[in-house]
């Protein structure tokens, strides 16, 4: 049973009302059951299991209770004691939020009209929509700068902005490199604190947003990393992405290949050459994934991302097993680099503790462990006895120069930032920018980002009839957008937010915590038995969405947006002076969270629910905060927000 926490001081596992299991939060026409959400409230499996809070005859929820589980051995988030005088009003507004989620939306034939041409002048609405694709939140300063500089000029200013504090530097500043009897050098959760600090507090939003997109393509996960200093490994990987996000794809590919965390994650670390006596062969994991996931994909592509086919109409494979086995030889001979590491003898264990540099430096090459055999793959041959670093460069050049890289990489970045179903023409334009930035340079990521974000298809808001346009916002992106929009901070600077992967009480997704190298979802995922499937479309993020994750998301928000998480607390600084002005609050949030895409019906529901709270200029700060949290909860649970268009 899934629970919805009430607004009390008890821990989430000790309090709650039963939450409606919303089948899928959908945009108009995006019903996961293929039915109109307004008529599907009590149909199907979800309707049989739960009653939903809505304006339907069957009425409100039954009450119940459930237990939640925590990460084994991890300290749990401490909850501040709220003023419960407003708890009833706040919980009442939660019902309205779920009503929006459960019964909002209409039908649609799923036929998308051709997008209109891009605007010549930029309005606040257009600026907010663009900013929600290019970064996390639409701040007033960025809206103004974008209107002033234009799309391209604003991106150029962001590309040249000074980076914020790195992940490794932040860990150092927090003292997580210290060697103490608690053996914190084994604790992984500092890696979670690091990435939430980076995403929530870093000043360079564009760099962080695009690096997060890269982290879902070149996947390394903190989850399986163990041994000494897992946080430093994942932080160094994150810093690699942020440091190269505006550089060249070829350089990024080289640094990813030699990264210690990647070496751990995909087994290049300690990968040894073949040994005839024992029958040992080089590990093939990275060789396979660097082709399948990081560069060329499984099938040959046209420049527009559509698959090439053979004479029988079947897709053409890009590589076979022999290509994998040969390429694997190139990735032998690499291991952690201990050349800068110092060791400290301690009283509590009988071995010395290393310093962090092996976790942050690129892996080192040892020639004696490297295969000297020739490597023939993808139609090219690296001769026998080629020195290891040279062989690595030749192999990565072969992958980088493959014609698949532009459309394979470009289409997935469009999916992460703009839309789940870009047109072939859109993909082709991005491929062109990847292949040649206009100066003859291949793989210039600045050119790729600009091509994705300033394309006519990205800039044009979908027509009202285009009910299947856009993309489902990822839970972690929604969280960061909300936090940056309303203002959030950690009084201690520690940003102690743990792994938020729990599907019933958290986001169901946590940055740098992918469950596998295949990311949180597959780029070609199609929700079965849906209008999306009937229209031969893809919706990758819907792979995260089910009854449990939908309720868990609302559960998490209901507490987080009002009282925070440990000492990571929202301020609502810009909204507090206007909290008594319900239309003003709604308009402020509609622009910054939704680019003014909330429907008239949703705006009316918000107006009614928030006005009923009776907040005035003379009301207490607690009352005002409860109203603002209620407004955010209803919007963040609304289909018109959840689907980014």
Structure confidence by residue, pLDDT tens digits, 393-442: 999 999 999 999 999 999 999 999 999 999 999 999 999 999 999 999 99
What is the mean predicted confidence (pLDDT) over 202-219? 96
pLDDT at 543 over 60: yes
pLDDT at 498 over 50: yes
Give the integer Cα–Cα distance in Å for 3 and 551. Answer: 8
The pLDDT value given to residue 44: 32
pLDDT at 385 over 60: yes
Q: What is the band of 528 on the pLDDT scale with cuts at 50, 70, 90? A: very high
pTM of the complete model: 0.84
Identify the CA nearest to 127 among candidates 145, 150, 149, 143: 143
What is the mean predicted confidence (pLDDT) over 125-148? 97
Sorted by where each begins, the domain ranges of the chain are 1-87+100-107, 133-459
Q: What is the band of 100 on the pLDDT scale with cuts at 50, 70, 90? A: low
What is the mean predicted confidence (pLDDT) over 280-307? 98
pLDDT at 105 over 90: no
Chain mean pLDDT for the chain: 86
pLDDT at 8 over 80: no
Give the integer Cα–Cα distance in Å for 319 and 339. Answer: 37
Give pLDDT tens digits for 581-636.
Answer: 999 999 999 999 999 999 999 999 999 999 999 999 999 999 999 999 999 999 99
Burial (Cβ within 10 Å: 0-12, 13-18, ≥19) of residue 54: buried
Give the integer Cα–Cα distance in Å for 452 and 305. Answer: 14
Give pLDDT tens digits for 31-88.
Answer: 333 333 333 333 333 333 322 223 332 333 233 333 333 333 344 444 344 343 344 4
What is the mean predicted confidence (pLDDT) over 463-474? 91
Cβ atoms within 10 Å of 62's Cβ, excluding its own: 9
Radius of gyration in angstroms for the set of CA atoms belonging to the chain, rounded to a whole number: 25
Q: What is the band of 93 on the pLDDT scale with cuts at 50, 70, 90? A: very low
What is the mean predicted confidence (pLDDT) over 136-165? 96
**Residues pairing with 343 in the sheet:** 354
Q: How far is CA 272 from the centre of its chain?
A: 34
What is the mean predicted confidence (pLDDT) over 382-392? 98
What is the mean predicted confidence (pLDDT) over 521-547? 97
568-570 vs 488-490, strand pairing mode: antiparallel
Q: Which residue has the higher pLDDT, 25 or 206?
A: 206
What is the mean predicted confidence (pLDDT) over 2-6? 35
pLDDT at 530 over 70: yes
pLDDT at 375 over 80: yes
What is the mean predicted confidence (pLDDT) over 217-225? 98
pLDDT at 460 over 60: yes
Q: Which residue has the higher pLDDT, 87 or 293?
A: 293
Give pLDDT tens digits for 167-181.
Answer: 999 999 999 999 999
Identify the CA nearest to 371 among candidates 353, 355, 383: 383
Q: Range with the lowest mean pLDDT among 95-99, 447-451, 563-567?
A: 95-99
């Amino acid at each position: 049973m899934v629970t919805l926490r009430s607004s009390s001081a008890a821990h989430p596992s000790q309090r709650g009302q039963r939450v409606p299991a919303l089948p899928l939060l959908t945009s108009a026409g995006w019903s996961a059951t293929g039915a109109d959400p307004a008529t599907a409230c009590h149909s199907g499996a979800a309707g049989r299991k739960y009653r939903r809070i809505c304006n339907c005859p069957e009425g409100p929820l039954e009450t119940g209770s459930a237990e939640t589980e925590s990460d084994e051995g991890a300290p749990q988030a401490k909850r501040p004691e709220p003023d419960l005088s407003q708890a009833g009003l706040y919980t009442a507004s939660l019902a309205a939020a779920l009503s929006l989620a459960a019964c909002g939306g209409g039908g649609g034939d799923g036929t998308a009209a051709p997008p209109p041409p891009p605007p010549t002048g930029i309005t606040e609405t257009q600026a907010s929509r663009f900013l929600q694709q290019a970064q996390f939140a639409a701040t007033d300063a960025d809206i103004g700068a974008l209107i002033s500089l234009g799309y391209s000029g604003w991106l150029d200013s962001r590309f040249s902005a000074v980076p914020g504090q790195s992940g490794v530097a932040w860990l150092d500043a927090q003292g997580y490199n210290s060697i103490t009897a608690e053996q914190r050098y084994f604790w992984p959760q500092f890696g979670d604190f690091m990435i939430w600090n980076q995403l929530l507090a870093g000043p360079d939003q564009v760099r962080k947003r695009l690096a997060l997109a890269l982290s879902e393509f070149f996947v390394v996960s903190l989850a399986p990393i163990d041994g000494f200093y897992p946080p430093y490994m994942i932080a160094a990987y994150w810093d690699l992405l942020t440091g190269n996000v505006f550089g060249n794809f070829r350089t990024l590919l080289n640094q990813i290949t030699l990264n210690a965390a990647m070496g751990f994650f995909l087994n290049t670390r300690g990968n040894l050459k073949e040994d005839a006596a024992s029958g040992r062969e080089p590990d093939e994991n990275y060789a396979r994934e660097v082709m399948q996931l990081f560069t060329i994909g499984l099938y040959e592509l046209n420049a527009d991302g559509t698959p090439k086919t053979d004479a029988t109409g079947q897709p053409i494979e890009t590589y076979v097993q022999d290509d994998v086995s040969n390429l694997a030889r190139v990735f032998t001979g690499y291991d952690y680099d201990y050349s800068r590491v110092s060791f400290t003898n301690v009283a509590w264990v009988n071995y010395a503790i290393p310093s962090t540099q092996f976790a942050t430096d690129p892996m080192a090459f040892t020639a004696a462990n490297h295969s000297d055999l020739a490597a023939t793959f993808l139609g090219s041959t690296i001769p026998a006895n080629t020195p290891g670093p040279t062989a690595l460069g030749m192999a990565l050049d072969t992958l980088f120069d493959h014609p698949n890289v532009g459309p394979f990489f470009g289409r997935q970045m469009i999916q992460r930032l703009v839309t789940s179903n870009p047109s072939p023409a859109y993909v082709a334009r991005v491929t062109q920018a990847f292949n040649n930035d206009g100066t003859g340079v291949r793989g210039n990521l600045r050119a790729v980002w600009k091509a994705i974000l300033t394309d006519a298809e990205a800039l044009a808001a979908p027509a009202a009839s285009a009910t299947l346009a856009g993309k489902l916002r990822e839970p972690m992106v929604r969280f960061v957008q909300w936090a940056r929009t309303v203002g959030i901070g950690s009084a201690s600077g520690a940003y102690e937010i743990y792994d938020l992967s729990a599907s019933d009480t958290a986001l169901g997704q946590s940055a740098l915590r992918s469950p596998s190298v295949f990311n949180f979802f597959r780029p070609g995922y199609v929700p079965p038995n849906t209008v999306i499937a009937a229209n031969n479309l893809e919706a990758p993020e819907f792979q995260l969405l089910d009854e449990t994750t939908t309720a868990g998301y609302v559960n998490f928000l209901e507490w987080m947006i009002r009282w925070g998480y440990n000492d990571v607390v929202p301020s609502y600084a810009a909204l507090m002076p206007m909290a008594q002005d319900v239309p003003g609050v709604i308009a402020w949030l509609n622009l910054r969270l939704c680019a003014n895409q909330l429907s008239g019906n949703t705006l009316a529901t918000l107006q009614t629910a928030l006005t009923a709270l009776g907040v005035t200029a003379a009301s207490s700060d607690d009352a005002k905060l409860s109203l603002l949290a209620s407004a955010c909860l209803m919007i963040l649970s609304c289909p018109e927000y959840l689907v980014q268009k």
